[in-house]
Amino acid sequence: MTVVERVAYLKGLFEGLEIDTAKKEGKLLSGMLDTLEDLAVCVSELQQQNEELQDELDDVYEELSAITEDFLMDEDEDLDADDIEIELDPEDDLYQVICPTCGEVIYLDEQMLEEGSIVCNACGEELEFDLSGLDSDEES
């Protein structure tokens, strides 16, 4: 039995008792039943809205889970495709550069830096290096 049905039952009992609504007690009971009826309708509407919102939230959660799953699968595939191991020789001086276009980490040795530029393997962007300011800093 819903709240609205229970209030309707109480209202029926009130009417069945034939309480005089012209007296103070009758007015009070009638007003209380009217208020209960309004509250019951509001509670029922809120319950219905809550159920609808919960259904929508479940749909959003499922869509978000699917998107996240797709994104993680794509990320895993990318990692597998670019799974390159770089063996670093401790005697070589290597410099780490991050491509400003794609964020790829590139390792350079002294000879590559002296050439002045390199092409990023990931996005094809040409990275240029100006080392002229570094020589004057080292001499001071």
pLDDT value, residue 79: 45
- Cα four-point dihedral sign 5, 11, 14, 15: negative
pLDDT value, residue 90: 59
Q: Report the predicted TM-score, pTM, of the whole model to 2 decimal places.
A: 0.44
pLDDT above 60 for 113: yes
pLDDT above 50 for 1: yes
CB neighbour list of residue 117: distance below 8 Å, 6 or more residues apart: 126, 127, 128, 129
- Give the model confidence (pLDDT) of 33-52 as tens digits: 999 999 999 999 999 999 99
Of the candidate ranges 18-32, 37-51, 58-72, 126-140, the one whose mean pLDDT is the lowest: 126-140
pLDDT value, residue 140: 45
Model confidence band, residue 80 (pLDDT cutoffs 50, 70, 90): very low
